[in-house]
Chains A and B, each alone.
Chain A
């Protein structure tokens, strides 16, 4: 399992325990996200602080994970390392997700965007 999760302050925090979300990992990640988030709070925060590389397959898998959640729930991203942040900005996917520098920022009520 590439993921672990906890529930904190009305949000489910899913932590990625892998350094790379790449082509070799993307399908497993998508399946693991499906089982991790099958039921739970409306808001899911994906903690990416251990991930130091993502490629377009990994990016696609994160988009797929958000679609799996459906319209009533949302996926926020936290702890993006510089390399991961760069891929989101280059592809403009930073406009689709709320990005938080750290998990703590994502859980801070004063910083949460709707």
Chain B
């Protein structure tokens, strides 16, 4: 059996926060362990922030649609937006920022963690550019508690 729900919101930082929190509450209510929902939330927030910051950066702000499909052993989270496609229709690599205790203060990265976190946390990532929207799907292995 697959359980499904969806929500949509305007692609602003505050609406995105509300949308992410509502998805997280729904996932917790479906019996996914809290620590796993935390990981889903990290990846989902980065994906949604990218939509707010990049996909709608130079066009009128549209909506973000999130659809979750919970299978017995995995969760697929689909994020859609009507903004511009990724450059060259390819997902960013998300190379990890290499930092150590000896990295000079001024060289420490203040960003660029988003795609690294998504790639680290999702077990599968699919992207397709449709006629007028981006469709990004993130997969997470799940062991239900109930």
Taking Cβ atoms with an 8 Å cutoff, the residues of A that contact B are 20, 22-24, 53, 55-57, 59-61, 63-64, 66-67, 70-71, 82-83, 86-87, 90-93, 95-96
Contact = CB atoms under 8 A, between A and B. Distances in A.
Interchain residue pairs A-B with the least CB separation, the first 10: A24-B13, A56-B113, A60-B110, A83-B38, A55-B45, A60-B111, A56-B114, A23-B49, A23-B13, A63-B110
Interface residues of B, number: 34
A19 to B, nearest CB: 10
Interface in B29-56: 35, 38-39, 41-42, 45-46, 49, 52-53
A106 to B, nearest CB: 18
Contact of B41 (A24, A53, A70, A71): A53
B92 interface: no
Nearest to A70: B105
Contacts of A92: 96-100
A95 B100 CA distance: 6
Given A56-B111, A82-B35, A91-B113, A22 B42 contact: no
Contacts of B120: 90
A57 B49 contact: yes
Interface string B119-135: 01100000000000000
A57 B53 CA distance: 11
Interface of B: 13-14, 16-17, 35, 38-39, 41-42, 45-46, 49, 52-53, 96-101, 103, 105-106, 108-114, 116-117, 120-121
Nearest to A84: B38
Nearest to B15: A24
Nearest to B100: A95
B97 A91 contact: yes
A55 B112 CA distance: 11
Contact of B101 (A53, A61, A90, A96): A96
Contacts of A87: 42, 117
B88 to A, nearest CB: 22
B117 A95 contact: no
A9 to B, nearest CB: 24
Nearest to B120: A90
B54 to A, nearest CB: 12
A86 B5 CA distance: 27
A61 B49 CA distance: 15
